[in-house]
Amino acid sequence: MALLRSRGGLILTNPVLASYVVPVHPHPLLVPEQNEGWQRLRDAFDEARQQISDSGADVIIIYSTTWPSIIGHQIQADPNPTWTLVDQDFHDLGSMDYSFRIDADFAEAWNKANHSRGLQSRTVAYNGFPIDVGSVVALKLLNPDNAIPAVIVSSNVYANRAETTVLAKSCLDVLKSTGKKAVAVTAMSMSNRMFTEFIDAADDKIHSLKDDEWNRKVLEFLEEGRLEDVAQLSRTIHQQIRVQKVVTFKPMWWLSAMNDNRNDLTGRVLAYEALHGAGGAVVHLDPTSNGMGDKEYDEDDVEVYHGERNVLDAEANESSPESKHVDGNGPALWDPAEGKDAVNTDSAPKPVGLYPHARRVGDLLYLSGVGPRQPGTNAIPGGPIQDANGEPLEYDIKAQTRAVVENIARILEEAGSSMEKVVDVTSFLVDMDRDFAGYNEVWAETLGHYGPTRTTLAIRALPTPIAVEMKVIAKI
């Protein structure tokens, strides 16, 4: 599992072991022998298959551009979808029988995590559901024996970068909470301008020189591991080499977010060939740093999707400007108090009273008590400790502690500080006997790594149904 440096200086583990870009058209699967380039793509698929097999991954996650959706994102949750697919265009190349092994539990957990981060999504598990051609080609070639269970997510027609990024972050939430390691795959064309007439297989080539040049530029970036740069150029690339409507170049948004928006991956283009004029590439992105510098991150990051197009529920979502209750399980929430020295951020959960997230005093920063609630949704990673009626619930202290630390990192970042600059921490646990060991373990992996002083207290209760809260003092 790769150790990565995130913004804010927090050491996190990213559970994505490898990422791949693969083409969607069926030629490498059905008729590779008809064209040398198609065969080279097939060989590249085979190489990727071997790498995936050797990776130790627990799940293959596919974001497919040939599965468009409208109502948010859809996630395949049929444990064993089985059917025969015929491509709408290339039906004369043959039929594709499939029977896949889907990690339905993961799909359901991802769907739930999406909701926690404000996304519209749903799982689908219906007999005869038409698995899309990009996913079928990818899974049949990358995982032919179903040795690794898969998850497939659609490409929402209307999704912007924020929505697509949050989709990846909720996927990462599930990977982290389950401890699973994943291979991330985007099923997509590079340029997707095909010949509009029928051609002999032997005559296949990239549709135009312009498309070819753009493809090569994108692949050059990927080979240099500059995934985030490609993501930031997504709209430009789309305008240049993609047909309009539906899929754009948004898979790169998802894949970059799955890799913590990094620019220093180790990339390798296994093949790049024409598929009836479209650009088909098999690319391997290894999370190992290539030693080059990372990015200048010049797009806003986003943790929670606020759903600006939530037309149907617009009225229901209108909230008081001052406070709102969440699920009837906890006190009212407030907008953070403003003030000359106050530090507030949308990336941290709303306060339960009129106070700021932090306050600057000289070169010191005093944080208000920070809990694990998620910004925007107030979901509690690891679960609440009790229900709305006060009945105790099972919860995961490690997940809660990790979420506390992540919230701290966001507030520090907003203030221009970082985890390295934390001086002193006071921790509050509602059940010292039950939770100290788990809390202490996460501490050692995260904040403890930087060596601040620490005091841990047992208290009777916290205002929201959480088990841990931390009070932090840091230098700026």
Partner 1 sequence: MLGRTMAKGSIVAGCLAPHPPHLVYAENPPQNEPTSEGGWEQLRWGYERLRESLSKIDHDVLVILSPHWQTYVGTHFLGLPHFEGLSVDPIFPNLFRYSYNLDIDVELSKAIHDKAADAGLAVKMMENPDFRVDYGTITTGHMVNPAFDKPLVVISSNRSRHYYSVEVMQEMMMELGRVTRDAILESGKKAVVLASNSLSHRHFTTESDVPEDMSKEHITSHAMHLWDMRIIDYMRTGQAQRIIDEMPEFTEQAIAESDGGGLTWLLSTLTVPTYPAILHGYGTIIGTGNAIVEWPCYAHEEV
| DSSP state string for 265-304 | -EEEEEEEEEETTEEEEEEEEE-S--SS------S---SS
Residue 128 binds partner 1, judged by CB under 8 A? yes
Between β-strands 422-429 and 453-458, what pairing exists: parallel, antiparallel or unpaired?
parallel
Among 5, 91, 210, 306, binds partner 1 (CB under 8 A): 91
How far lies 118's CA from each of 121, 307, 387, 461, in Å? 9, 7, 21, 28
What span, in angstroms and rounded, lies between the C-alpha atoms of 346 and 225?
30
How far lies 78's CA from each of 73, 125, 131, 173, 317, in Å? 16, 4, 11, 21, 32
Return the range that interacts with partner 1 (CB under 8 A); candidates 2-10, 88-96, 374-382, 457-465: 88-96
Q: How far is the CB of 67 from partner 1 (least distance, A)?
A: 6
Backbone angles phi, psi at 212, to 5 degrees: -60, -45
How far lies 453's CA from each of 402, 447, 449, in Å? 18, 10, 11
How far lies 233's CA from each of 228, 252, 254, 273, 371, in Å? 9, 9, 13, 22, 36
Q: How far is the CB of 86 from partner 1 (least distance, A)?
A: 4
Between β-strands 266-275 and 96-99, what pairing exists: parallel, antiparallel or unpaired?
unpaired
Residue 209 binds partner 1, judged by CB under 8 A? no
Nearer to partner 1, 158 or 297 (CB): 158
Among 88, 298, 338, 433, binds partner 1 (CB under 8 A): 88
Among 200, 203, 300, 311, binds partner 1 (CB under 8 A): 311
Among 312, 321, 340, 460, binds partner 1 (CB under 8 A): 312
Nearest Cα to 56, choosing from 141, 144, 136, 147? Answer: 147
Return the range that interacts with partner 1 (CB under 8 A); candidates 81-89, 259-267, 419-427, 443-451: 81-89
The residues in 258-297 that bind partner 1, with binding defined as CB under 8 A, are: 276
**Per-residue contact string for residues 383-422; x = within reach of partner 1 by CB under 8 A:** ----------------------------------------
Among 1, 86, 292, 457, binds partner 1 (CB under 8 A): 86
Residue 450 binds partner 1, judged by CB under 8 A? no
Residues 6+ apart with CB under 8 A from 236: none
Among 33, 313, 363, 387, binds partner 1 (CB under 8 A): 313
309 DSSP β-pair partners: none
Q: How far is the CB of 388 from partner 1 (least distance, A)?
A: 21
Return the range that interacts with partner 1 (CB under 8 A); candidates 14-22, 85-93, 99-107, 399-407: 85-93
Nearer to partner 1, 88 or 389 (CB): 88
Could you identify the residue written with the tokens 């898979």? 251
Among 89, 220, 322, 387, binds partner 1 (CB under 8 A): 89
Nearest Cα to 26, choosing from 97, 101, 130? Answer: 97
User: For binding to partner 1 (CB under 8 A), which residues are involved?
Assistant: 67-72, 74, 84-86, 88-92, 94-95, 120, 122, 124, 126-130, 132, 156-158, 193-198, 243-245, 276, 307, 309-313
